[in-house]
Copies of this chain bind each other. A is one copy, B any other.
Amino acid sequence: MLNKEQIVTYFQSLQDNICAALETADGSGKFIEDKWDRPGGGGGRARVIHGQVIEKGGVNFSAVHGELPANIIAKLGVETGKFFASGVSIVHHPVSPMVPIIHMNVRYFEMDNGTWWFGGGIDLTPHYVNEEDAKFFHQTLKNVCDKHDVAYHPKFKTWADDYFYLKHRQETRGIGGIFFDRLGGQDGHTKESRFAFVKDVGEAFAPIYTHLMAKNKDLAYGENEQKWQALRRGRYVEFNLVWDKGTKFGLDTNGRTESILMSMPPMANWVYNHQVEEGSAEAQTLGFLKKGMEWV
How far, in whole Å, are A124 and B59 apart by their CA atoms in the complex? Answer: 36
Q: Is the CB of A169 within 8 A of B272?
A: no
Question: 8 more A-B contacts (CB under 8 A) besides A169-B257, A266-B270?
Answer: A48-B273, A56-B272, A168-B254, A168-B260, A234-B264, A238-B241, A264-B270, A265-B270
Stoichiometry, as copies per complex, reads: 2
Q: Is the CB of A272 within 8 A of B251?
A: no
A14-35 toward B: CB 8 Å interface, digit per residue (1/0)?
A: 0000000000000000000010
- Given A48-B272, A267-B267, answer yes or no on A251-B241 (Cβ-Cβ < 8 Å): no
| A-B pairs, 5 with minimum CB distance | A264-B270, A241-B241, A168-B251, A48-B272, A258-B273
- Interface size for A (C-beta < 8 A) is 32
Q: Is A281 an interface residue (CB 8 A)?
A: no
Contacts of A56 in B (CB 8 A): 270, 272
Contacts of A251 in B (CB 8 A): 167-168, 242
Q: Is A85 an interface residue (CB 8 A)?
A: no
A contact patch SS:
mixed
**Which of chain A's residues 236-273 have a Cβ closer than 8 Å to chain B?**
237-238, 241-242, 248, 251, 254, 257-258, 260-262, 264-273
- Given A167-B251, A168-B257, A242-B248, answer yes or no on A230-B267 (Cβ-Cβ < 8 Å): yes
Taking the nearest CB of chain B, how far is it from the CB of A151, in angstroms? 33
How far, in whole Å, are A272 and B237 apart by their CA atoms in the complex? Answer: 15
How far, in whole Å, are A261 and B251 apart by their CA atoms in the complex? Answer: 21
How far, in whole Å, are A257 and B266 apart by their CA atoms in the complex? Answer: 23
How far, in whole Å, are A82 and B162 apart by their CA atoms in the complex? Answer: 32
How far, in whole Å, are A194 and B264 apart by their CA atoms in the complex? Answer: 41
Taking the nearest CB of chain B, how far is it from the CB of A130, in angstroms? 26
